[in-house]
Amino acid sequence: MAFRESFFAVRFGLTEHDLERYLTAALASGGDYADVYFEYLSTTNITIDESIVKSATQGVTMGVGVRVISGEKTGYAYSDDLSPERILQAAKVASRIASGPSKIEKTGLDEAPRRNLYPVLTSSSDTSLAERVALVKRAEQAARAADARVFQVTAVYADALKHVLVATSDGALSFDRQPMTRMNVSALAKIGDGVPQQGYSGAGGRVGLEYFEKTTPESISEEAVRQAIVLLDAVEAPAGEMTVVLGPGWPGILLHEAVGHGLESDFNRKGVSAFSGRVGQQVASPLCTVVDDGTMDSRRGSLNVDDEGVMSQQNVLIENGILRGYLTDKLSQRITGIQSTGSGRRESYQHIPMPRMTNTFMLAGESDPQEIIQSVQKGLYCANFAGGQVDITSGNFVFDATETYLIEDGKVTRPVRGATLIGNGPEALKWVSMVGHDLKLDQGVGVCGKDGQYVPVGVGIPTIKIDKITVGGTGA
Amino acid sequence: MSVELEQIASSAVQLAMDAGATDAECTIAEGSEFEVSLRKGEIETLKQAGSRGVGIRVLRGQRAGSAYTSDLTPEGIVTMVTSAMEIAEVTSEDPFAGLPDRGLLGKIDVDLQLFHDDVESVTTEAKIEMARLAESTALAADPRITNSEGASFGSGEGRRVFANSRGFVGSYRYSSCSLHTVPVAKDGDSMERDSWSSSARSFAKLESPEEVGKKAAARVLRRLHPRKVATQKCPIVLDRRMARGFASHLFEALNGSSIYRKSSFLAGKLGEKIAVDGLTLIDDPTIPGLFGSYPFDDEGVPGRRKVVIENGVLRSYLLNTYSARKLGLETTGNASRGLSGNAGVGIGNFYIEKGSVSDDEIIRSVKSGFYVTELIGSGVSVVTGDYSRGAAGQWIENGELVYPVSEVTIAGNLRDMLMKIDAIGSDLEFRGSIASPTLLIGEMTVSGQ
């Protein structure tokens, strides 16, 4: 597809000439680089609560962000009106960061090579509302039917279609159509007048409704119910340092918190990350290889092109325990000379891009998952987590376990209640002593927050054994 | 401007009624933001822009539909209303859906002082200078403060407009500004960061850059060379910033939506004793100048003060129209929403009333315990009350702060924590819409080595 057939050209009559005009205006006061980012986002949300479709919402937002970089300084302005006057006004505001004649020669725009990592046959937003409502109803009914102890179910369906276009003063012009669809189910169960327990499950990605033929709404519900039921029998979680086995998939959030954020180049060029200046050093056990890969088919964290017009790629962060590199964006590239890794992302046109993760996971090892569990005398098996957080300077991170079991004499035994696990980024992965061959990626509902900007991400991990980490329970 | 936006909101409601809606409500939000950030004295980013959006919720009988757009042109509004009307065909009949009764609508007529024009009148140069001074004060405070994640000055103003088909139309304007700095201290192989920020609706109420820089420096310095203490049960002192977090969990547990769904450990406890005698919790959106104040909620019901917990007894939930109807109660004027969709529940100024002892006296009263100044993670469930979060702070020995602690967790249950509050500080201050004085919790589990 050529630019003239792209969404913004067709819908708003945007031309290359317009884009060059905006870039020229952005660089009118000088500066080393400028880009304009167009975004058009349409969303649909449907919620079933207490067995009825209580709410549904559709919406549209659009806007343009203009950025000017001068040295290490960034000027930014945006407009929610796509008229040339308002965009030129935003360019003028952003240009105030620079002073003096522009140092760059603009060379016209070249369309970047295109690919499609998320081909969607029928976009969710092109399907009738009734059809999408029917999917959520299936999820809700399956949760109710799964177990008599379930007394509350909330099922949420959400889809979004985002059209973006980036034009840069270094001549790149790229555009992308980014679908996103997901379904979440939350179930509450209780026995008699006992304390209720909550289970939660979700799934999705850069997919259309065909996704739910394989990952059925029923399967999402059954998983949510299963988790709630497991917790009904849970005992107090233990407290203190112990051996922990993480199950495959979503527990990969460990990598996101323990190393991912600490390897984002903005923190590192400023020297404020616990990983700063440690490329080439051992930061994990030799069993650990961690990558961030924005090129995976149809996954939630994937991007054909990042929000600065750079193609996403597979980046090796840690190879056999050795720190290999950081996740970088165009600003870091200008300052450090290290090529952008295609990690420049932003929440919306109202936000300045920064280095972010896409899909972060650990490569599979050689151990049999059962043998990993059998090797533990006394410890914990964590199958699921809610979320996590990190202090990138001290390196301390937490992640919140929601489905956890005791391991006693090499066997997974009783479920325990939710507990926070805490560790230190550059140290925690040194205690990884076994890595399973069962790499699994999460189900596609992850959201990552940084400096108030929220972007979709993916994580993944095989079963791993960590010899020592602190578990924040209340028991002995 | 406000007249124009009120007209747009009213006409969107009228459009929906003309299209066959039995009721409709429209929200418009307009805002502008400015932010400058510096690091090591040099400007890093300068951002300035504004945006607006409109949302509508329609009812066709007992079915609701919602839509929103950033396109406020007449065509944009028509498209939005049409979309909401279509959606109301696929949602379910909900016997409890509906707007507040006419008699409940209104605005409080006190000037809440939410907008201050001194914010707008500060020059960009002055804002940059304040951020620079906050950062340089922190950097100059001690040779161990060698680095910085920077400083920023942010300001914004906006307007919120609401109209419904039962005759309500209103709007209010607000402003805010904030100053923030994040110094990084290093000593040997220990590196820590901490921050301090001041925010207010009026520029005049901001703390000085020197004060912000000094407080940030003091906070980061005391974190260097932390120890990981042994796993044990001991008293926990939550400083007032962390105590705010504790209060925010109570808000979630008292949220009417969680109450009628029975997904809160406080569901069904109205009139029961749920906390120690001395604990009183207030929600008051009517205090002038504060962040949680509003003349009317997001359904057009006036904000009003309510005692939520009185001397340990649960007196009120926080309700919007829907959750109130589900529970057979009356709305407490706590409806909250973004631009569209069914209203959720929010807060005004939600605070734990201050006690009579100073924070210093509380620390001095502890023989051996943990003074918590940072909490990370979200390991709190209001369904069960289970609480487990990452913590950092200072160890208390014989009433003295003796060394910094990090990489530990504190765990317990909100139900027990409420019954074990042994002391409430006198140091209440409002920095946001949630506030609490320092709290001493008799016993929790600290998990470390």
pLDDT tens column, A284-302: 999 999 999 999 999 999 9
Q: Name the residue among B70, B86, B228 with its Cβ closest to that of A60.
A: B70
Query: From CA A168, how far away is CA A65, in angstroms rounded?
Result: 12
Query: From CA A235, how far away is CA A416, in angstroms rounded?
Result: 5
Whether B379 and A77 lie within 8 Å, measured CB to CB: no
Whether A57 and B66 lie within 8 Å, measured CB to CB: yes
pLDDT for res A107: 66
CA of B184: which chain A residue's CA is closest? A272
Query: From CA B326, how far away is CA B48, in angstroms rounded?
Result: 44
pLDDT for res A418: 86
CA of B96: which chain A residue's CA is closest? A54
Each domain of chain B, given as residue ranges in start order, spans 2-221, 226-449
pLDDT for res A106: 65
Nearest Cα residue to A192 out of A149, A140, A143, A251 = A149
When the pLDDT of each residue in chain A is averaged and rounded to a whole number, the result is 94
pTM over 0.90: yes
- Composition of chain B by helix, strand, coil, percent to 5: 25, 40, 35
pLDDT for res B97: 96
DSSP reduced 3-state for A257 = helix
Whether B379 and A63 lie within 8 Å, measured CB to CB: no
Q: How many residue pairs bridge chain A and chain B with CB atoms within 8 Å of each other? A: 249
- In chain B, what is the straight-line distance between the N-terminal and C-terminal CA atoms, in Å? 60
- Alpha-carbon gap: B110 to the closest alpha carbon of chain A (Å): 33
Q: Which residues on chain A are in Cβ contact (under 8 Å) with B70? A: 60-63, 80
The pLDDT of A257-275, averaged and rounded, is 91
Checking DSSP bridges between strand B434-435 and strand B350-352, what pairing results, if any?
Answer: parallel
pLDDT for res A105: 66
Whether B341 and A55 lie within 8 Å, measured CB to CB: yes
The pLDDT of B88-112, averaged and rounded, is 95
On whether the A3-232 domain is CATH 3.30.2290.10, my answer is yes
The two most distant CA atoms of chain B are separated, in Å, by 72
- The distance of Cα B287 from the centroid of its chain, to the nearest Å, equals 15
Cβ atoms within 10 A of the Cβ of B230, count? 11
The pLDDT of A415-443, averaged and rounded, is 94
One CATH from 3.40.309.10, 2.40.320.10, 3.40.50.1820, 3.30.2290.10 for B2-221: 3.30.2290.10
* Each residue's pLDDT tens digit, B324-354: 999 999 999 999 999 989 999 999 999 999 9
Domain with CATH 3.30.2290.10 in chain A: 3-232
- Alpha-carbon gap: B111 to the closest alpha carbon of chain A (Å): 31
When the pLDDT of each residue in chain B is averaged and rounded to a whole number, the result is 96
CA of A75: which chain B residue's CA is closest? B46
Whether B390 and A473 lie within 8 Å, measured CB to CB: no
Interface of B with A in 298-337 (CB under 8 A): none
CA of B63: which chain A residue's CA is closest? A54
Q: Are A358 and A458 in contact (CB under 8 A)?
A: yes
CA of B30: which chain A residue's CA is closest? A80
Q: Which residues on chain B are in Cβ contact (under 8 Å) with A129? A: 86-87, 90
What are A354's two structure tokens?
Answer: 């920064």
Q: Is B267 on the interface with A (CB under 8 A)?
A: no
Whether B48 and A387 lie within 8 Å, measured CB to CB: no
Query: From CA B412, how far away is CA B386, in angstroms rounded?
Result: 6
Q: Which residues on chain B are in Cβ contact (under 8 Å) with A417? A: 384, 386
The pLDDT of A429-441, averaged and rounded, is 97
* Each residue's pLDDT tens digit, B312-321: 999 999 999 9
